[in-house]
Amino acid sequence: MASDRREAALLPITRDRRIRYRLIEKHLLRAYSVKGLFLTQAGHMNMREILKMVMRHWDQIDALAEAPGP
C-alpha cells in the first residue's frame, strides 16, 4: 500500500452528519487536504442501501478521487 495519499487515490466515505461540529476532525481534514465523501442524508439508510448507492455512483466517486485538489 502506498504511503502517498495522492498516489493511492484514497477517498474516505462517511455518514457523519455532525462533522461540521467536530472541530479537530474538520481541522485535520483541511490541514491534510483530504477529499472525502460525506453522506449526510444517509442517516435513515441501512448499510445495504448505502452500499447500493455508492456502487451506483462509483464512476463519479472514482473520478473525484483521481481529480487534483482537496
pLDDT at 8 over 80: no
pLDDT at residue 42, rounded to an integer:
64
Nearest residue to 40 via CA among 26, 20, 64: 20
> Which pLDDT belongs to residue 2?
47
Domain that holds residue 53: 5-66
Q: What is the dihedral of CA 16, 7, 57, 38, to 10 degrees?
A: 10
d(CA 15, CA 3): 25
The confidence band for 69, taking pLDDT boundaries of 50, 70 and 90, is low
Instruction: Give the chain's domain count.
Output: 1
d(CA 21, CA 4): 28
pLDDT number for residue 29: 85
Mean pLDDT on 38-62: 85
